[in-house]
A and B are shown apart, each in its own frame.
Chain A
Amino acid sequence: MQNIVEVKNLTKIFTISKGLFGQKKTEVRAVDDVDFEIKGGSSLGLVGESGSGKTTCGRLILNLIKPDRGEVLIKGIDVYNKDKREIKKVRRGAQIIFQDPYNSLNPRMSIKDILLEGVRIHKLYEKNNEDKRLGELLELVGLAKGDKDKYPHQFSGGQRQRVAIARALSVEPEFIVCDEAVSSLDMSIRAQILNLLKQLQRELNLSYLFISHDLPLVEYFCDRVAVMYQGKIVEIASANDIYSNPLHPYTKILLQAGLAPEPETRKLKIDVRRFEYKAPDADIPLRDYGKGHLAKV
Chain B
Amino acid sequence: MLEIINLTVKFNTQSGELKACDKINLSIEKGKNLGLVGESGCGKSMTCLSILKLLPPEAQITWGQVLYNGKNLLTMDNKGLRRIRGNKISMIFQEPMSSLNPVLTIGEQMREAIIAHKGLSKSEADKEVISLLEKVKIDKPEARIYEYPHNLSGGMRQRVMIAMAISLKPDLLIADEPTTALDVTTQAQVLELLDELQREYKMSVLIVSHDFGVIARLADTIAVMYAGEIVEYASSETLFKHPAHPYTKALLSSLKQMQSKKDSLTVLKGNVCDLSNLPTGCRFEERCSFADESCKSGVNKLIEMDKGHYVRCFKCKI
The contact string, 1 if C-beta is below 8 Å from chain B, for chain A 25-69, is 000000000000000000000000110000000000000000000
The contact string, 1 if C-beta is below 8 Å from chain B, for chain A 216-255, is 1101100000000000000000000000000000000110
CB neighbours (8 Å) of A195 from chain B are 264-265, 267
State in angstroms the CA–CA spacing of A261 and B248 once bound together. Answer: 12
State in angstroms the CA–CA spacing of A158 and B41 once bound together. Answer: 14
Chief secondary structure at chain A's binding surface: helix
B265 and A194 within 8 A (CB): yes
Q: Least Cβ distance of A51 to chain B in Å?
A: 9
A188 and B268 within 8 A (CB): yes
A261 and B216 within 8 A (CB): yes
B236 at the interface (CB under 8 A from A): yes
B213 at the interface (CB under 8 A from A): yes
| Choice from B40, B189, B252 contacting A275 with Cβ under 8 Å | B189
| Choice from B185, B189, B252, B264 contacting A261 with Cβ under 8 Å | B252
A259 and B185 within 8 A (CB): no
9-residue interface stretch from A87-95, A162-170, A265-273, A284-292: A265-273
CB neighbours (8 Å) of A15 from chain B are none
A265 and B185 within 8 A (CB): no
B261 at the interface (CB under 8 A from A): yes
State in angstroms the CA–CA spacing of A189 and B265 once bound together. Answer: 11
Q: Least Cβ distance of A46 to chain B in Å?
A: 15
A263 at the interface (CB under 8 A from B): yes
CB neighbours (8 Å) of A260 from chain B are 213, 216
B29 at the interface (CB under 8 A from A): no
**Given A220-B261, A265-B217, are A156 and B267 neighbors across the interface (CB < 8 Å)?**
no
B213 and A257 within 8 A (CB): no
The contact string, 1 if C-beta is below 8 Å from chain A, for chain B 78-120, is 0000000000000000000000000000000000000000000
**Given A265-B216, A272-B137, are A191 and B268 neighbors across the interface (CB < 8 Å)?**
yes
Q: Least Cβ distance of A297 to chain B in Å?
A: 19
State in angstroms the CA–CA spacing of A260 and B259 once bound together. Answer: 10
Interface centre among A217, A256, A266 (most CB of B within 10 A): A266
A272 and B192 within 8 A (CB): yes
**Given A194-B265, A254-B185, A265-B217, are A259 and B211 neighbors across the interface (CB < 8 Å)?**
yes
Interface centre among B236, B251, B265 (most CB of A within 10 A): B265
State in angstroms the CA–CA spacing of A50 and B179 once bound together. Answer: 14
| Choice from B213, B252, B268 contacting A258 with Cβ under 8 Å | B213
B184 at the interface (CB under 8 A from A): yes
A216 and B259 within 8 A (CB): yes
B219 at the interface (CB under 8 A from A): yes
Q: Least Cβ distance of B252 to chain A in Å?
A: 7
B258 and A257 within 8 A (CB): no
The contact string, 1 if C-beta is below 8 Å from chain A, for chain B 250-261, is 111011001101
Shortest Cβ distance from A192 into B: residue? B267
A217 and B183 within 8 A (CB): no
A277 at the interface (CB under 8 A from B): yes
| Choice from B137, B212, B237, B258 contacting A217 with Cβ under 8 Å | B258
The contact string, 1 if C-beta is below 8 Å from chain B, for chain A 167-210, is 00000000000000000001111011011001100000000000
B148 at the interface (CB under 8 A from A): no
B271 at the interface (CB under 8 A from A): yes
**Interface set, chain B 205-226, CB cutoff 8 A to A:** 210-220
A262 at the interface (CB under 8 A from B): yes
Shortest Cβ distance from A239 into B: residue? B261
CB neighbours (8 Å) of B293 from chain A are none
A191 and B241 within 8 A (CB): no
A261 and B240 within 8 A (CB): yes
State in angstroms the CA–CA spacing of A219 and B255 once bound together. Answer: 12
B216 and A262 within 8 A (CB): yes
B251 and A187 within 8 A (CB): yes
**Given A186-B40, A260-B216, A263-B237, are A50 and B258 neighbors across the interface (CB < 8 Å)?**
no
State in angstroms the CA–CA spacing of A172 and B239 once bound together. Answer: 44
B251 and A188 within 8 A (CB): yes
Interface centre among B185, B192, B250, B258 (most CB of A within 10 A): B185
B193 at the interface (CB under 8 A from A): yes
Shortest Cβ distance from A158 into B: residue? B271
Shortest Cβ distance from A186 into B: residue? B39
**Interface set, chain A 131-164, CB cutoff 8 A to B:** 156, 158
Q: Least Cβ distance of B208 to chain A in Å?
A: 15
State in angstroms the CA–CA spacing of A49 and B153 once bound together. Answer: 13
Closest A-B pairs by Cβ, 3 of them: A259-B213, A261-B212, A186-B39
Chain B residues with a Cβ under 8 A of chain A: 39-40, 137, 154, 183-189, 191-193, 210-220, 236-237, 239-241, 250-252, 254-255, 258-259, 261, 263-268, 271, 287
A-B contact pairs, 6 of them (CB 8 A): A50-B183, A219-B261, A259-B188, A261-B215, A263-B236, A276-B185
